[in-house]
Amino acid sequence: MFDQFGNYLTTSGSYGTGEHTIVFNNTNALHILDANDCERLLTVEVSFVNVTATPNGNWELLVSPNPIQAGQRLRVWQNGNAAPEVMISVWDAQGRPIHEFFMNAQEKYLDTEMLVPGIYWLRWQRADGQSDGVKVVVLQP
């Protein structure tokens, strides 16, 4: 299946009968082909909530809104014991660095006008060496 960003997803496995949940971002067509070659096309709409990255129990980095429409401002903020300096970098889905900035306050806003619709990774690294990242989806305005 290709979604609006050109991503292809294939799942396989033994699911049996009953309710199963697979999460996709936004509205997508879901093509189902079972073991008996029976096909069904479903429309799936999913809404994500905010994303959180937590390195330990005393601090977390939050991002909102996510997904975000291109041109809106993305809020990035620290919850808990704020780190004095956090390096934030934005990478596109192909692994190319797009933007980099230091966050030396409780919160920061990132202007998304420079981002074309697609999937991005917001990576962070604290001065103490802890690092992680969250996926950010940018939608068409």
| Domain extent listing, the chain | 1-47, 51-139
Q: How far apart are CA 62 and CA 60, in angstroms?
A: 6
For the cut 50, the answer to whether the pLDDT of residue 2 exceeds it is no
Query: 131 pLDDT exceeds 90?
Result: no
pLDDT, average across residues 24-35: 60
Return d(Cα 25, Cα 36) in angstroms, integer. 28
Predicted confidence band at 7 (pLDDT cuts at 50, 70, 90)?
A: very low
Q: If you ran DSSP here, which 8-state letter would residue 36 be given?
A: T
Whole-structure pTM value: 0.58
pLDDT, mean of residues 56-75: 87
Do residues 29 and 41 touch, judged by C-beta distance below 8 A? yes
Superfamily holding 51-139: Macroglobulin (MG2) domain (2.60.40.1930)
**pLDDT score, position 24:** 47
